[in-house]
């Protein structure tokens, strides 16, 4: 089990890498995270919602993502509490008090999910959440030492040295664990290191002598890994910073919504060598871009209000009028329509709000949640598309169809007089053919070179194998495997 000194220390990535190492050794392995708080989610082939991180980890194991790998998913909704997703389906919005009462029922769900997986695979790689030393949360713990004891798993505590203070974090975390938890802890891994490793040796020895636990490795900062981030922490660091408009590239502005979700939809765009993708909430940045994207959101109506408060609505319309491509994905698609109705106050306290009016459609929110994998075609160019849908609400689309499913149902629309289109499909840019088709429109307009046949392939598989190789080189993998009873 990998736990952390805090959130965002790299637990998810290390779990994925270790999953791939075990898979490469010929073992059957699956990931597990009892409770995940994230707006980055994934829809399984059975139509269940789970954390994106565990879906990526399942890919590292060479298996199909299963909701048992993340039985509880929390999706914060400002002003509406937190949506609690249990075994892939919404169980309602809850505040802290109601969720605390609900937790007792979740223990059984978590235990059953874990034991079912453990009965199917040789090994389970478990990810914790936050820190096991958050003393105010230990009584209700579902995800950290509670899971470690349940699984009888050796615990590796991960620290992010790039944040500073990693040795204090290690010592403090270990000191705040009780005797049973300390016995469960096998050691530490330093993550995100930039520099000469030998400089750390005195401090490493100090921690090992102080705690009696081994430092299993120092993992370097990995540039351009090409795997989705679990949450928006790293994404938010980039917002409105160092925005440079480059004349010989495709400059794509991604609007930074307060409740942005599934921002990994755009990882594949960043993998293109001639794409400059930047996140911004400044109106002036949009009109300097070649394409503007309104992404998904957990609170569509709230974020539409944010768009208006910032003056982004006028900038978006100006872009459409100036022949700059405007794209809406999921909530962004809804925002581009004429109106959003929320009579049941599902996502807000506003029963209806006008949209931007760039697409002829009306959306009505409802309690039901649409969760499905989809395949279809972009009618322009007759190009296959695929991905998944996660949204509340149904849209009455009167505009021109742009994307349809196999039954001819409209999954996206566009305009003929302006470069505006939208769709409900998350992950649509991961398909190379569709991505190339859209980007080539902008390349032709700017007079930029058109890539050869095949284009740039977005390939998480290569990234996972690269990650495994980096971990094998920079950790004591033999000792880690010995913890599992694997003799080299």
Domains of the chain: 2-226+462-483 (3.40.50.300), 249-447 (3.40.50.880)
What does pTM read for this prediction? 0.84
Task: Map residue 121 onto helix, strand or coil.
Answer: coil
User: What does the chain come to in residues?
Assistant: 488
Which one is catalytic: 15, 61, 319, 330? 330
426 included as an active-site residue: yes
414 included as an active-site residue: no
What's the Cα-to-Cα distance from 56 to each of 1, 12, 220, 296, 461, rounded to whole Å? 17, 9, 21, 19, 10
* Alpha-carbon span 439 to 441, nearest angstrom: 5
Q: Under the phi-then-psi rule, with left for phi > 0, alpha for psi from -120 to 50, and beta for the rest, what region is 442?
A: alpha
* Alpha-carbon span 35 to 74, nearest angstrom: 7
pLDDT per residue as tens, the chain (488 positions): 999 999 889 999 999 999 999 999 999 999 999 999 888 888 998 999 999 999 999 999 999 999 999 999 998 876 667 888 999 998 888 887 888 888 888 999 999 999 999 999 999 999 999 999 999 888 888 999 999 999 999 999 999 999 999 999 999 999 999 999 999 999 999 999 998 999 999 999 999 999 999 999 999 999 878 777 655 555 555 565 667 787 889 999 999 998 888 888 888 898 888 999 999 999 999 999 999 999 999 888 889 999 999 999 999 999 999 999 999 999 999 999 999 988 876 666 778 889 999 999 998 887 777 788 999 999 998 999 999 988 877 888 888 999 998 888 889 999 999 999 999 999 999 999 999 999 999 999 999 988 765 556 677 888 999 999 999 999 999 999 999 999 86
């Amino acid at each position: 089990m990998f736990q952390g000194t805090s959130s965002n220390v790299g637990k998810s990535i290390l779990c994925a890498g270790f999953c791939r190492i075990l898979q490469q050794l010929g073992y059957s392995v699956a990931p597990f995270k009892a409770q995940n708080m994230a707006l980055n989610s994934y829809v399984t082939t059975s139509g269940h919602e789970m954390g994106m991180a565990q879906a990526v980890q399942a890919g590292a194991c060479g298996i199909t993502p299963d909701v048992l790998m993340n039985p509880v998913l929390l999706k914060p909704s400002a002003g509406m509490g937190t949506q609690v997703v249990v075994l892939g389906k919404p169980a309602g919005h809850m505040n802290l008090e109601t969720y605390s009462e609900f937790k007792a029922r979740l223990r059984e769900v978590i235990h059953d999910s874990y034991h079912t997986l453990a009965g199917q695979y040789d090994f389970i790689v478990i990810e914790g959440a936050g820190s096991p030393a958050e003393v105010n949360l230990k009584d209700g713990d579902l995800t950290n030492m509670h899971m470690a004891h349940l699984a009888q798993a050796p615990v590796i505590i991960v620290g992010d040295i790039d944040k500073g203070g990693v040795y204090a974090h290690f010592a403090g975390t270990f000191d705040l664990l009780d005797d049973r938890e300390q016995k469960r802890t096998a050691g530490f891994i330093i993550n995100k290191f930039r520099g000469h490793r030998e400089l750390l040796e005195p401090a490493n020895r100090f921690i090992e002598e102080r705690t009696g636990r081994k430092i299993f490795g120092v993992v370097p900062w990995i540039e351009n890994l090409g795997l989705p981030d679990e949450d928006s922490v790293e994404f938010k660091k980039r917002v409105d910073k160092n925005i440079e408009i480059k004349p010989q590239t495709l400059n794509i502005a991604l609007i930074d919504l307060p409740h942005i979700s599934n921002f990994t939809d755009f990882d594949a765009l960043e993998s293109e060598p001639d794409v400059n993708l930047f996140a911004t909430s400044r109106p002036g940045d949009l009109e300097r871009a070649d394409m503007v994207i309104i992404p998904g959101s957990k609170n569509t109506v709230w974020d539409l209000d944010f768009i208006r408060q910032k003056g982004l609505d006028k900038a978006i319309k100006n872009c459409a009028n100036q022949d700059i491509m405007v794209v809406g994905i999921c909530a962004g698609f809804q925002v581009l329509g004429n109106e959003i109705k929320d009579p049941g106050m599902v996502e807000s306290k506003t029963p209806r709000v006008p949209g931007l009016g760039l697409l002829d459609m009306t959306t009505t929110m409802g309690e039901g949640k649409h969760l499905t994998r989809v395949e279809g075609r972009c009618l322009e160019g007759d190009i296959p598309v695929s991905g998944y849908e996660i949204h509340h609400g149904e849209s009455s689309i009167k505009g021109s169809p742009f994307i349809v499913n196999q039954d001819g149902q409209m999954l996206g629309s566009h305009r003929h007089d302006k470069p505006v289109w939208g769709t409900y499909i998350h992950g649509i840019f991961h398909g190379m053919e569709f991505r190339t088709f859209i980007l080539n429109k902008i390349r032709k307009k700017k007079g930029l070179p058109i890539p050869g046949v095949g284009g740039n392939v977005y390939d998480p598989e290569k990234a996972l194998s690269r990650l495994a190789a980096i971990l094998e080189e920079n950790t004591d993998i033999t000792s880690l495997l010995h913890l599992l009873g694997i003799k080299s």
